[in-house]
Structure 1
């Protein structure tokens, strides 16, 4: 990035040359650069301190080709309809590529200079079982790391080794802060790391219990994948080229559990919230905003629409998702101080209408098997336990199934998909063919996604099977039309029953 930026681009209000590292981040994708790194940039401008970020990627892409060449400096664009605002973010002091070997990442993570490690590694990066949150001991990377703890390649394995190095070298405590869209993400992170060290027998588990904190957090900002058009926007509108540009909406939110083992940046001074319990906030966001995104993404693909803004502009799908949220999702939520759930629904749908955020439905649908538990299945289970209707919430569950089924060769391979369970669902499709009931039954038997109590529930099975039958028909939107018809508004209250 050129040194002289135009006046129209906001620049860091501090001396980057004096900035020293104090935290590391694993998974330097667009979301981190548009969220946590921006909060840190704000804090450094307000209260300069040793909070430079060392970015680490243990998976592609290579940082050296983008951020490395620019000294960690990059452009954050905020887009809202016709408005574009550019800002240079300076909080990242260096970057580390650690795809070929864990050694470079371990050197950073084990350093006594690092007080906080944040992570955005996506749901599947935790190598956990979505239905239970436990470490997946059958995961190939976990099998490798348990056999070769000194040369790990998974996130849990790398963190376990880094903590071991910290214990044996300087003993400084550290806070590991997950910023991924997983419920109780701090608990999940603690579970997978502690599961990696339980068999070592060298006192590491006890040291972690006394010196490492795993706070949970809720993060929110819609950040689509950067496109070539975004890079060209910076070049054309602002006069310089930035290969690491990121794009986000104006809205942002960060709620962090107050549970720290070491010095922590005062992000609460620049808009984040430190709270005692993140759970109500994460339920609200995951079940409403993220639930709407997953619903609109898969149904949108089935309707032939490319972007979220295209789907929410469709009157039928917009009506369906609003009714689903208001009628079935909201009653499952815990009270959130100072927040009206109904207003939050309208705010969330309004954010999804932003035509300048070109969020592709296929991108949102990526790794859907890792997302539907917290976004759809948990609220469904809550409603079933109370004997409430799940007619609307069952449709996007069937939508996820249909999305993967129609991507299989047996059903014509209509689109490429990225999901850890894509091959398994394709195998089920090959084995069962056009029998919708058999398709649904076999997919519901995947107990790493579907809680056995839920999968065995007769009403849930019937609702999902019926919805899947409609979505796999020649007129998938016919099912959605039926669900929003006035006659469908009067739903039978399901009798309370055990699964």
Structure 2
């Protein structure tokens, strides 16, 4: 290659040998499934599993990628015929591979019609999705459809022109019932516990308000399996795009970057045929819950802890935070001493080994996962990652001195983004406005701030005391004092317990 060309089908045979290429005939693929939310994670996870499966056992399972929210796909994946480079990076090691499983892309940001044309097609037997926690328009504490959500209010008033995921899926299922009646499996791949249950709740709740027996038809003809997905895939940077050009000599506007580790656990609850992803390393199980809890509370709990405390400490990336000696000791002790006792055994996984593996993954210096990115939408994440294990610990009559610190960190992260505290950084969180209003009204009084915020979380008195203490220190000139003190207090408590047990 002389001039810099853009990746596309015509370039495949002329790529350097260092770049892996699809080993199957992409021209023979036809759409069999759709994916909503074609971002970095999908391109590093479900699309790669499908690419692996196509190489092992060729079938018709081409993916139609659909975005109903920005970014648009036409100018990136669309220009490249659905092809993109997946980079696996671990410290100094780089592995480049072209993924070919996406056969078509559809932009549906301005109107639901293009998405509906795909989702209602009889060719589509499966819909997967990664639309983030907010995309489900649900109430995180209950999993119920949020009837006050602006998009849900709009869609119930304008059911033929939906904006929301529940509205679009309900209308697609209604159109399938009216045109061909074929069954459909809808598989959430978002990082939400019992994501299949939540997806079914919001879609059927929306359909019930449509009437005409739609909810009953969905119950009989659609399946909503839960799934646990795992691979760290940070937002792609301009440097990532430039690196492909520098290393391999072509331009790719849809690069995806991930770590070597990946996992996909899928509930066996299908309406019809499913791709044999198990042949490519996925696991089909009857109950995803133990896998979800382990991953959410250990890996994701560590990420949220390191992200919020890392920002407060002035650290930019996850690997910067876990390289900090204080934060490294803190997060490991929190997981071992307070998180693990809340978990049920997971077949084939040794808990302490899983903690070591998870923390080791976070040390990967090539995965430039920014702490601010992980902290985004923290209010949607802390329930399953931190608050649920805290509730379990309180029910056990056990201490929560360590788990309370990252909850206070989440509060401090949002408080410091308020006008009262000088808006130290921009945030994206559904609770940001409410907490900014509390901060503006309350001022810098940590107990008053904590009390007002914890009212939202319906916290009990023990929780209030531990969080209030940590929050005051996190808002001080030495935010890591809360981390040091929690470790010191935990050490004293452990010494007392050991002395009592020796009596």
CA distance in 2, matches of 1:488, 1:415: 34
CA distance in 2, matches of 1:485, 1:398: 17
- Counterpart pick for 2:208 among 194, 198, 205: 198
Match of 1:496 in 2: none
Match of 1:461 in 2: 464
5 Å-filtered alignment, 1:274-313, equals 274-313=284-323
> How many aligned positions are there?
486
Q: Is 1:431 paired with 2:434?
A: no
5 Å-filtered alignment, 1:150-165, equals 150-165=160-175
Shift of 1:483: 1.9
Ranges in structure 1 where 5+ consecutive residues have no aligned partner: 494-499
Q: Is 1:183 paired with 2:193?
A: yes
Match of 1:356 in 2: 366
Match of 2:486 in 1: 483
- Secondary structure of 1:198's partner? helix
Shift of 1:489: 4.5
Q: TM-score, normalised by structure 1?
A: 0.96
Match of 2:500 in 1: none
| Runs of 4+ residues deviating >4 angstroms | none
CA distance in 1, matches of 2:398, 2:82: 51
Matched-pair contact (CA < 8 Å) for 2:30–2:103: yes
- Secondary structure of 2:79's partner? helix
Match of 1:314 in 2: 324
CA distance in 2, matches of 1:239, 1:122: 34
CA distance in 2, matches of 1:297, 1:148: 40
Shift of 1:445: 2.1
Match of 2:245 in 1: 235
Match of 1:374 in 2: 384
Q: Is 1:115 paired with 2:118?
A: no
Matched-pair contact (CA < 8 Å) for 1:116–1:174: yes
- Secondary structure of 2:464's partner? helix
Matched-pair contact (CA < 8 Å) for 1:482–1:488: no
Ranges in structure 2 where 5+ consecutive residues have no aligned partner: 1-6, 498-503
CA distance in 1, matches of 2:144, 2:109: 25
Shift of 1:488: 3.4
- Counterpart pick for 1:419 among 416, 429, 436: 429
CA distance in 2, matches of 1:63, 1:200: 31
Matched-pair contact (CA < 8 Å) for 1:428–1:442: yes
Matched-pair contact (CA < 8 Å) for 2:85–2:97: yes
Q: Is 1:41 paired with 2:51?
A: yes
Q: Is 1:471 paired with 2:474?
A: yes
Shift of 1:440: 1.1
CA distance in 1, matches of 2:201, 2:278: 27
Matched-pair contact (CA < 8 Å) for 1:395–1:464: yes
1:379-426 residue CA offsets vs partner (Å, 9 max, x unmatched): 100111111101100000000000000011110111111111111111
Matched-pair contact (CA < 8 Å) for 1:311–1:318: yes
Structure 2 CA distance for partners of 1:188 and 1:240, relative to 1, 3 Å: same
